[in-house]
A and B are shown apart, each in its own frame.
Chain A
Amino acid sequence: MKPGSEVVLRLDAITKRFGKLVANDAISLSLRKGEVVALLGENGAGKTTLMNILFGQYTADSGSVEVFGQTLPPGNSRAALDAGVGMVHQHFTLADNLTVLENITLGVQSLFGWRVNKAETSLKIRRLSDDFRLKVDPDARVGSLSVGERQRVEILKALYRDVKILILDEPTAVLTPQEADDLFATLRIAIANGLSIIFISHKLHEVMAISDRVVVLRHGRRVAEVDVADTDKTALSGLMMGVEAKAPDIAVARPGKTLLSLQNISTPNIKNVPGLCDVSLDLKAGQIIGLAGVSGNGQAALADVVGGMRMPSQGVLVLGGEPLAQWSPRKAVQSGIARIPEDRHKTGTIADFDLTENTILEGYNSTPFSRAGWMNWSKARRFATDIIDKYDVRCPGPDTRIRLLSGGNMQKLILGRVLEADPQIVLANQPVRGLDIGAVNYVHSQLLAARDRGAAVLLISEDLDEIMGLSDVIHVIAGGRLSPGFARGSMTPAQLGIWMAGQGFDSADLDGEVAHAS
């Protein structure tokens, strides 16, 4: 359907400051009926802040929000919802122990009202689910659903409330390429039904595929607004990053001997998170192995095993030719494994420790930082100062509490901490999540440098572009199983997507286990 001229949502010169940081600098945006506008920008560009203002979570310093011609009162979190705007968050807001139907009606129907008319509600949900091709069983418990299905529930929840404007925040981050295609099909139906959509993303090909118009944000400013018909991916990425992006030139890997070998490793499932299922993997010197997969398919278990946090229940870990009898984080550190944890705030650093204390977190108990049970703080401080200089950590000094640093600088400190000891093996778990483009490039160049120095690198990421750009060999993990290794350039994203959905594992006995991801 061709976008009409009726403007359904208008953000007018929204400005929001947090202290010195200008998160939104006079951003204007308008959305017409039946139109998809993509909000494109790196992490930290101001997309989330803008949406929080729309939904009244924040009050803008200046500017106004208009829905269907009515100005919304600032700071009222119900106003946007009542005006017919719905949002599907990146992190779902569903109650696991309730059914799909209960989740959808939660908050719409009064808790203390008459008995819910279940048959009627169920019928309405089924009708919506047929109309919009959102296949999901209204009576299923949300806790038993796959990530893709949960997203459908979130969208149904919004549709059930008869929203006219739907906002999707990074909706494809948790989906396989095939699931993303299904989502786009649904969105096209929604547009045909007169809805308008704001699609927040930093994935260019999706933005190109689904949207009519793109608004590009960078560092809190609206740097461009273009019709998709008049642009291409290269131009968009240039606008988004402020430079012409180019793929890094990567020298051909020269894999050496196997440093760490996982042989038929299994770990138990913990709650809904699958463990590993008979995984074998060799980490070779001078090679980056990329682990692709949809979030929550066993990546955490694999990272835990390699990083010393977990001993496999079955199988053997062979380090430098020796099978390991004991395995712990400390042993991993001492064996020369550099570990970049998935969550730098919760596991990588101690927020209220200063930079010095955080820099020695892994090496605190050995010389020169500790001798006979006593710390040598001047040596520790000098080490921290060296790391800060060498890895370009922007900070007031080594005595600053690390909670005051940006994510990128925090990650640089972690990189320095683990790479300074010339590690044999680098375990990088989501190393660039939430970082700006400069920090991303820095982290990637450090990983490549480690590889060229002869380290074995295991890169775990949910970003297929990152995996495909950096890895010499790609494995896909799905439902705790590991695919065979694919050499650089031998697979298209769509082919990897089939594996990510769990469909590449041919043996018939797997069908039951991986079906939920398809």
Chain B
Amino acid sequence: MRLEPIANPSLGRSLGPPALAVAATVVIASLLAMVAGANPFSVLGLILKGAFGSQFAALETLNRATPLIFTGLAIAVAFKAKFWNIGAEAQLYAGALITVVLGTGALPWPSFALIPTLMVGAVLAGAVLLLIPAILKTRFGVDEVVTTLLFNFIFLLFISMLLEGPLKDPMGMGWPKSARVLSEARLPRIVDGLRLHWGFGLAILCAVAVWVIQTRSTLGYEMRAVGLNREAAAFAGIPVNTVLVKTALMSGGLAALAGFSEVAGLKGSLTLDLSPGFGYTGIIVAMLALLNPLGVIVTALFVAGIFVGADSMSRAAGVPTYLADMMLATALLLMVLAILLTRFRVVRD
């Protein structure tokens, strides 16, 4: 058996395998639920109900999707230019850090001044954090996968140190937790009385903005060219290293917005469990969306729905929430296979 590339894939060829991947994911998840001793149909129903079954559940899903849209976009932007940023987790915390450093009283400003300042501060922090691996890569050829990945651990330990030291909340009963940000720093709710903050709106806005930049701007053209064929881009006169650095700045800034939005919109303070791996899950979100920024919105909702739904499902059916992780992993692996099958056909010799 071997793979033969398909010159001009038909519509069915483009959509069929991904649809099959989703269906297969559901089947495999059901089997796993059975192994865990539950009725597979009720488990799937419970996940769906837990994610979208009520207004509360749906809003919870949207809230959970918000940081995933940001990190998903960060990854999508970087991967499109083949800059492998695995460090969205650290950049997220960099954004959160700036938000609590400036938002807990250092800048006693009204909301309309403070919120944009915190936002810009967070973006800069994330961008600068990713600038280091980007420069190491473009100047010295250091593999960014290694540097960005290791930065995650370094930066989380750094945050941990700050939370045990200078940033520790004096009123926090000894917990490693920062002080709460000012009420002027909090993102307002989109609709009064509903637990959904403007971070979600910002995320949607960013997704549209990234899409416009990628398809309409000169930088977007450069980023795509560098991603598809670095050698040809360089030959044509595209400043490859500059483009990679700009890509890194954009990617880091987007990931940092996740941290800003979680602190200013949801949690109010910085703790070490601010992110349950949003930076890593962002990779899944971006890959499932085939790196399309608008697709990131959809896949972030899908992933968030599985997580939120699995939470309530595990309470109701007594199945571990790890089922959610396994479902996502299955979905990702099958989707990678599906993408391969949209472009190649299997030929038997």
Show the binding face of A for B, using Cβ within 8 Å. Answer: 19, 59, 75, 307-309, 328-333, 339, 341, 346-353, 357, 361-362, 364-365, 370, 373-375, 377, 404
Contacts and interface: CB of A to CB of B under 8 A. Distances in A.
Contact of B349 (A75, A308, A339): A75
Interface in B213-244: 216-222, 224-225, 228-229, 231-239
Nearest to A332: B237
B245 to A, nearest CB: 16
Interface string B226-267: 001101111111110000000000000000000000000000
A329 B236 contact: yes
Interface of B: 7-8, 216-222, 224-225, 228-229, 231-239, 349
A384 to B, nearest CB: 14
A319 to B, nearest CB: 16
Contacts of B7: 19, 404
Contact of B218 (A332, A339, A341, A365): A365
Q: Which of A352, A364, A370 has the most CB of B within 10 A?
A: A364
Given A347-B232, A404-B7, A328 B237 contact: yes
B273 to A, nearest CB: 40
Contact of B8 (A346, A374, A375, A404): A404
A332 B293 CA distance: 35
Contact of B237 (A329, A349, A373): A329
Contacts of B237: 308, 328-333, 362
A353 B238 CA distance: 15
Nearest to A304: B235
Given A329-B234, A347-B232, A351-B228, A59 B221 contact: no
Nearest to B212: A374
Contact of A350 (B217, B218, B220, B228): B228
Contacts of B239: 330
Given A59-B349, A404-B8, A346 B218 contact: no
Contact of B217 (A59, A328, A347, A375): A375
B204 to A, nearest CB: 22
A59 B7 CA distance: 20
A370 B228 contact: no
Nearest to B226: A350
Contacts of A19: 7
Contacts of B233: 350, 361
Q: Which of A19, A332, A361 has the most CB of B within 10 A?
A: A361
B218 A370 contact: yes
Contacts of A307: 235
B221 A375 contact: yes
Nearest to A362: B236
A328 B8 CA distance: 36
A309 B233 CA distance: 12
A361 B232 contact: yes
A19 B347 CA distance: 13
A309 B235 contact: yes
A350 B219 contact: no
B235 A374 contact: no
Q: Is the interface of B mostly helix, strand, loop or mixed?
A: helix
A333 B233 CA distance: 13
Given A59-B349, A357-B221, A362-B237, A346 B232 contact: yes
A348 B231 CA distance: 9
B325 to A, nearest CB: 33
A333 to B, nearest CB: 5
B235 A350 contact: no
A350 B216 contact: no
A353 B227 CA distance: 11
Contacts of A370: 218
B141 to A, nearest CB: 15
A398 to B, nearest CB: 15
Given A329-B235, A351-B229, A374-B218, 10 more contacts: A329-B234, A329-B237, A332-B237, A333-B237, A347-B231, A347-B235, A352-B228, A364-B222, A365-B222, A404-B7
23 contacts: A308-B237, A309-B234, A330-B237, A333-B236, A346-B229, A346-B231, A347-B232, A347-B235, A350-B228, A350-B232, A351-B229, A352-B229, A353-B224, A361-B225, A361-B232, A364-B238, A365-B222, A375-B216, A375-B217, A375-B218, A375-B220, A377-B216, A404-B8
Contacts of B229: 346, 349-352
A309 B8 CA distance: 34
Contacts of A328: 237
Contacts of A361: 225, 232-233, 236
A349 B234 contact: no
10 smallest beta-carbon distances between A and B, as pairs: A330-B237, A329-B237, A361-B236, A350-B229, A347-B235, A370-B218, A350-B228, A362-B236, A350-B232, A352-B228
Contacts of B219: 373
A72 to B, nearest CB: 15
Contacts of A59: 349
Nearest to A377: B216
A329 B220 CA distance: 20
Contacts of A75: 349
Contacts of B218: 364-365, 370, 373-375
Q: Which of B7, B218, B224, B231 has the most CB of A within 10 A?
A: B218
Given A309-B235, A329-B235, A341-B235, A374 B217 contact: yes
Nearest to A417: B236
B310 to A, nearest CB: 37
Contacts of A331: 237
A370 B221 CA distance: 10
A373 B217 contact: yes
A181 to B, nearest CB: 37
A308 B235 CA distance: 8
Contacts of B228: 350-353
A346 B232 CA distance: 6
B349 A374 contact: no
A421 to B, nearest CB: 13
Contacts of A374: 216-218
A496 B24 CA distance: 66
Contacts of A339: 235
Q: Which of A328, A347, A357 has the most CB of B within 10 A?
A: A347
A349 B232 contact: yes
Given A347-B232, A349-B232, A364 B221 contact: yes
A179 B24 CA distance: 61
B93 to A, nearest CB: 31
B124 to A, nearest CB: 20
Contacts of B217: 373-375
A260 to B, nearest CB: 17
A347 B240 CA distance: 14
Contacts of B238: 364
A333 B217 CA distance: 21
A350 B221 contact: no
A309 B232 CA distance: 11
